Amino acid sequence: MADTMGMMEKNRVNEANVAESDSDKQTTDAVPLRYPIPSNDPNDPLNWSTLSKLTTYGTICLFSFIANVNGSNFTVAIVPLQKQFKTDATHATWLVGFNVLMFGLGNVLWVPLMRVVGKRPVYLLALAVFVAANAWSTKATSYGSLLGGRMIAGFGASAADATVPSAVADMFFYEQRGHCMMFFHLALASGIFLGPLINAYIVQLHSWRWSCGFLAIAGGAIFILAFFFIRETQYYVPRKQHAIHEIPKPRTYAGWLSLTLGYNNDKPLQRFVRTFWDIIRMAVYPPVFWVGCLVGVFVGWTIVIQITVSQTFLRPPYSWKLGKVGLFSISGWIGTLISFYFGGKLIDLLANRARRHDHDAKPRPEKRLIALAIPFVISPVGLIIFGQCISHRLSWVGSAFGYGMHSFGFTAVANIAITYAVDCYQSFPGEALVTVFVVRNVIALICSLYANNWIAKEGLSAVSGTMAGVQWALLLIAVPMYYMNSTILALTDKYGPQRRLRAESRK
Residue 191 burial (10 A CB sphere; 0-12, 13-18, 19+): buried
Round to whole Å and give the CA distance between 155 and 358: 43
Predicted pLDDT of residue 22: 42
174: enclosing H helix or E strand:
helix 174-205
Round to whole Å and give the CA distance between 26 and 34: 10
Predicted pLDDT of residue 507: 63
pLDDT by residue, tens only, the chain of 507 residues: 334 334 444 444 444 444 444 434 443 344 455 667 778 888 889 889 999 999 999 999 999 999 989 987 887 787 788 888 888 877 887 888 888 889 888 988 998 999 899 999 999 999 999 999 999 999 988 989 999 999 999 999 999 987 888 888 889 887 777 778 888 888 988 888 888 888 888 888 888 899 999 999 999 999 999 999 999 998 887 778 888 888 888 889 988 989 988 888 888 888 888 888 988 888 889 999 999 999 989 988 887 887 788 778 878 888 888 778 878 888 888 988 888 766 556 666 665 665 555 545 566 788 888 888 888 999 999 999 999 998 888 888 999 999 999 988 888 888 888 888 888 888 887 788 888 888 888 887 787 777 778 888 888 888 889 999 999 999 999 999 999 998 999 999 888 888 888 877 766
Predicted pLDDT of residue 31: 45
Round to whole Å and give the CA distance between 120 and 2: 18
Residue 494 burial (10 A CB sphere; 0-12, 13-18, 19+): exposed
Q: Is the pTM of this model over 0.85?
A: no
Cβ atoms of residues 185 and 414 within 8 Å = yes
Cβ atoms of residues 71 and 103 within 8 Å = yes
**Chain centroid to CA 2: how far?**
33
Neighbours of 451 (CB within 10 A): 23
Longest CA pairwise span in the chain (Å) = 76
Round to whole Å and give the CA distance between 41 and 67: 34
Residue from 358, 460, 367 nearest 30 by CA: 358
> Which residues lie below 8 Å from residue 498, measured CB to CB, with a gap of 6+?
285, 425, 427, 428, 492
Residue from 79, 100, 78, 89 nearest 446 by CA: 100
Phi, psi of 487 (to 5 degrees): -65, -40
Phi, psi of 27 (to 5 degrees): -80, 170
CATH of region 3-13+29-239+250-505, choose from 1.20.1250.20, 3.30.470.30, 2.60.40.730, 3.40.50.300: 1.20.1250.20
Round to whole Å and give the CA distance between 100 and 192: 11
What crossing angle do the helices spanning 174-205 and 330-340 adopt, rounded to 10°? 170
Predicted pLDDT of residue 132: 96
Round to whole Å and give the CA distance between 199 and 401: 22
Q: Tens of pLDDT along 103-114? A: 888 988 998 999
Quick one: residue 496, left, alpha or beta (phi over 0 = left, psi -120 to 50 = alpha)? left
Residue from 424, 37, 49, 431 nearest 238 by CA: 37
Predicted pLDDT of residue 342: 66
**3-state DSSP of 205-263:** HCCHHHHHHHHHHHHHHHHHHHHHHCCCCCCCCCCCCCCHHHCCCCCCHHHHCCCCCCC
Predicted pLDDT of residue 110: 92
Residue from 278, 269, 281 nearest 116 by CA: 269
